[in-house]
Amino acid sequence: MEKFCVFCGEAPQEKNKEHVLPAWLIEMTGDPGHEAHFGIDFTKEPLKARKFAFDSLVFPACTTCNTRFAELEGRVKPIFELLLSYKPLSSDQLILLLDWLDKVRVGLWLGYLYLDKNWMGIEPNFHIQSRIGQLDRMVSILRVENAGVGLTFAGPHFKSYQLSPTCFGLGVNGLWLVNASGVGLCSQRLGFPYLEPLRFNEAHLLEASPHTGSERIMNPVERIATLPRTVSLYQPVFRAFRERENSEKYLGGDWIKQRTADAANGYGKLFVQKSDSVQIYPDNASTDWAPAELWNKKEVSYRLGEHIFDRIRRNYENSIGLAPTQDERRHLRREGVMARMLDLAMLSNASEVEGNKKSPKRRARRRR
Ligand SMILES: [Zn+2]
């Protein structure tokens, strides 16, 4: 696999290495030299569980790209200190956290393509820089009792994630952030203008038809089974509408203007969904983000990985119908079946949760 920068996708200039899980986060969560598991290595015979230290999870980057994004890291570190002590956070801080989660979600995707020597032959059509803050996004927050110190993540080791890097979970000292992003994830049901995906064109760009917003907020924001005892934060992103000639038609109304966090970036305000209500997150620092009830450790190992896997699979399967030709759809379906078989085999043999927390072996589960 040719080396490319995880930020810009070009051949790395003045080579550097990017910690996709930053050193400051690794330090907050225990000994940086501690070994952790990183999925199954399918490139070796016999198959082996990958094991190395968290601070060795580094991938190629340009020096300038790395330096530019170090600024984001510097701003997110104090936010994590507040998160981990369950202190009030402002909507601006949480929006920055969503930017950072975009970065990590995409960084881990590209990183795992490297680790797996890109065995599925995927051609990444975006990288960190071109994906941050582009599409609707969300994070569900949950808190685990007596979790202790540790860094864990779930999702990126699934082969299905290589096909659809749309959802992952990050566990930091008992705080779990389950992050997802995609076209039309929440805009429509939050009353914002939204894009209805039509198809991918020959250049693999998504063609979508624009719709005006209903200016009505629906509850729940997503029509999927949500995780219990979580607080979910949603942010509609209408950046694509700003670039349209007739953007006024979609963005001109007072309703949208009052619910805009950052017009230049096309960021809607943050919405918080919890205990059966959906509301705008307060502008000033608040503990509205913090879940009141706890999860136990066992639930995390059998429920969270499955939830993340289901989200990834659904997103992938929904995208197949958008491929331009029947041949391509057939190819995507075949790849999806293969990835899913490997993932289910892995789920039945090992914990679906990565990192330095050991979880009990998990029973195989048949899916239809
Ligand atoms: Zn670069």
pLDDT of residue 241: 95
pLDDT of residue 350: 52
How far away, in angstroms, is 81 Cα from ligand 1 center?
A: 29
How far away, in angstroms, is 100 Cα from ligand 1 center?
A: 17
Q: Which of 72, 175, 243, 158 is nearest to 167 (CA)?
A: 158
For the beta carbon of residue 67, count every other beta carbon within 10 angstroms: 11
How far away, in angstroms, is 67 Cα from ligand 1 center?
A: 10
Give per-residue pLDDT as tens, 86-127.
Answer: 999 999 999 999 999 999 999 999 999 999 899 889 999 899
pTM: 0.93
Q: Which of 250, 20, 258 is nearest to 153 (CA)?
A: 20
pLDDT of residue 184: 87
How far away, in angstroms, is 50 Cα from ligand 1 center?
A: 27
How far away, in angstroms, is 101 Cα from ligand 1 center?
A: 19
Structure tokens belonging to residue 30: 């225990």
Structure tokens belonging to residue 314: 């659904």
How far away, in angstroms, is 75 Cα from ligand 1 center?
A: 20
The angle subtended at Cα 255 by Cα 250 and Cα 270, nearest 5°, is: 95
Structure tokens belonging to residue 333: 């379906």
Q: What's the CA gap between 320 and 341, in Å, rounded?
A: 17
Q: What's the CA gap between 283 and 182, in Å, rounded?
A: 25
Strands in 182-266 per DSSP E: 194-200, 206-211, 231-235, 260-262
How far away, in angstroms, is 68 Cα from ligand 1 center?
A: 10
How far away, in angstroms, is 62 Cα from ligand 1 center?
A: 4
pLDDT of residue 359: 39
The one-letter amino acid code at 99 reads: D
Chain centre to alpha carbon of residue 168: 5
How far away, in angstroms, is 6 Cα from ligand 1 center?
A: 7
Q: What's the CA gap between 273 and 259, in Å, rounded?
A: 16
pLDDT of residue 92: 97
Q: Which of 173, 176, 177, 179 is nearest to 151 (CA)?
A: 173
pLDDT of residue 349: 66
Which residue positions in the chain have pLDDT lower than 50? 352, 356-368
How far away, in angstroms, is 58 Cα from ligand 1 center?
A: 14
pLDDT of residue 356: 42
How far away, in angstroms, is 61 Cα from ligand 1 center?
A: 5
Q: Which of 304, 40, 23 is nearest to 155 (CA)?
A: 304
Are residues 356 and 151 in contact, defined by beta-carbon separation less than 8 angstroms? Answer: yes
How far away, in angstroms, is 1 Cα from ligand 1 center?
A: 17
How far away, in angstroms, is 294 Cα from ligand 1 center?
A: 40
How far away, in angstroms, is 214 Cα from ligand 1 center?
A: 40
Q: Which of 193, 141, 137, 145 is nearest to 165 (CA)?
A: 137
How far away, in angstroms, is 65 Cα from ligand 1 center?
A: 5
Structure tokens belonging to residue 5: 């920068």
